[in-house]
Amino acid sequence: MAAWLVRRAARRVAGELRGRGPGPWSLSSSTVPVLGVPAVDQSRAFCSVRRFAGDSAAAAAVEEPENGLAAGGLQCVDFPGGKLSFVGEMNFLPESQTERINCYRVLDDDGGTIYNSRFQEVSKDLALKMYSNMVTLQIMDTIFYEAQRQGRISFYLTSNGEEAINIASAAALSAQDIVLPQYREPGVLLWRGFTLQEFANQLFGNKLDYGKGRQMPIHYGSNRLNYFTVSSPIATQLPQAVGAAYSLKMDKKKACAITYFGDGGTSEGDFHAALNFAAVAEAPMIFFCRNNGWAISTPTAEQFRSDGVVTRGQAYGIRSIRLDGNDTLAVYSAVHTAREMAITEGRPILIEAMTYRVGHHSTSDDSTKYRPADEMEHWRTARDPVSRYRKWVQGNGWWCDTQESQLRNNVRQELLQAIQVAERMPKHGLAELFTDVYDQIPSNLRQQERSLLDTIKRHPAEYPADVPV
Residue 281 has pLDDT above 60, yes or no: yes
Residue 289 has pLDDT above 70, yes or no: yes
Residue 24 has pLDDT above 80, yes or no: no
The per-residue pLDDT for 71 is 55
For residues 12-38, average pLDDT: 40
- Express each pLDDT in 108-149 by its tens digit: 999 999 999 999 999 999 999 999 999 999 999 999 999 999
The per-residue pLDDT for 464 is 85
User: What is the Cα–Cα distance from 92 to 218, expressed in whole angstroms?
Assistant: 47
Three-state SS string across the chain, please? CHHHHHHHHHHHHHHHHHHCCCCCCCCCCCCCCCCCCCHHHHHHCCCCCCCCCCCCCCCCCCCCCHHHECCCCCEEEEECCEEEECCCCCCCCCCCCCCCCCCECCECCCCCECCCCCCCCCCHHHHHHHHHHHHHHHHHHHHHHHHHHCCCCCCCCCCCCCHHHHHHHHHCCCCCCEEECCCCCHHHHHHHCCCHHHHHHHHHCECCCCCCCCCCCCCCCECCCCECCCCCCCCCHHHHHHHHHHHHHHCCCCCCEEEEEEHHHHHCHHHHHHHHHHHHHCCCEEEEEEECCEECCEEHHHCCCCCCCHHHHHHCCCEEEEEECCCHHHHHHHHHHHHHHHHHHCCEEEEEEECCCCCCCCCCCCHHHCCCHHHHHHHHHCCCHHHHHHHHHHHCCCCCHHHHHHHHHHHHHHHHHHHHHHHHCCECCHHHHHCCCCCCCCHHHHHHHHHHHHHHHHCHHHCCCCCCC
Q: How many residues does the chain have?
A: 469
The per-residue pLDDT for 209 is 97
459 is catalytic: no
- Catalytic one among 162, 362, 367, 428? 362
The per-residue pLDDT for 163 is 98
Residue 280 has pLDDT above 80, yes or no: yes
Strand partners, 322: 352
Tell me the pLDDT of the chain averaged across its residues.
87
- Express each pLDDT in 141-192 by its tens digit: 999 999 999 999 999 999 999 999 999 999 999 999 999 999 999 999 999 9
The per-residue pLDDT for 380 is 95
Residue 353 has pLDDT above 60, yes or no: yes
- Provide the pLDDT confidence category of residue 67 given band limits of 50, 70 and 90: low
Residue 433 has pLDDT above 50, yes or no: yes
Residue 18 has pLDDT above 70, yes or no: no
User: What is the Cα–Cα distance from 78 to 427, expressed in whole angstroms?
Assistant: 66
Residue 208 has pLDDT above 50, yes or no: yes
For residues 288-302, average pLDDT: 95
**% of the chain residues with pLDDT over 90:** 77
- Catalytic one among 43, 232, 247, 451? 232
User: What is the Cα–Cα distance from 313 to 275, expressed in whole angstroms?
Assistant: 7
CB atoms within 10 A of CB 101: 17
The per-residue pLDDT for 37 is 34
- Provide the pLDDT confidence category of residue 386 given band limits of 50, 70 and 90: very high
Q: Identify whether the C-beta of residue 72 lies closer than 8 Å to the C-beta of residue 37.
A: yes
The per-residue pLDDT for 72 is 59
User: What is the Cα–Cα distance from 247 to 430, expressed in whole angstroms?
Assistant: 36
Residue 80 has pLDDT above 60, yes or no: yes
User: What is the Cα–Cα distance from 433 to 282, expressed in whole angstroms?
Assistant: 39
Residue 29 has pLDDT above 90, yes or no: no
Residue 43 has pLDDT above 70, yes or no: no
- Provide the pLDDT confidence category of residue 60 given band limits of 50, 70 and 90: very low
The per-residue pLDDT for 468 is 86
For residues 250-265, average pLDDT: 97
Residue 38 has pLDDT above 80, yes or no: no
Residue 343 has pLDDT above 80, yes or no: yes
Residue 41 has pLDDT above 80, yes or no: no
User: What is the Cα–Cα distance from 12 to 329, expressed in whole angstroms?
Assistant: 49
The per-residue pLDDT for 272 is 98
- Catalytic one among 132, 162, 360, 361? 361
- Catalytic one among 16, 146, 302, 377? 146
The per-residue pLDDT for 34 is 34
- Provide the pLDDT confidence category of residue 88 given band limits of 50, 70 and 90: confident
Residue 30 has pLDDT above 70, yes or no: no
Q: Identify whether the C-beta of residue 425 lies closer than 8 Å to the C-beta of residue 201.
A: yes
146 is catalytic: yes
The per-residue pLDDT for 77 is 85
Residue 11 has pLDDT above 60, yes or no: no
The per-residue pLDDT for 32 is 34
The per-residue pLDDT for 96 is 82
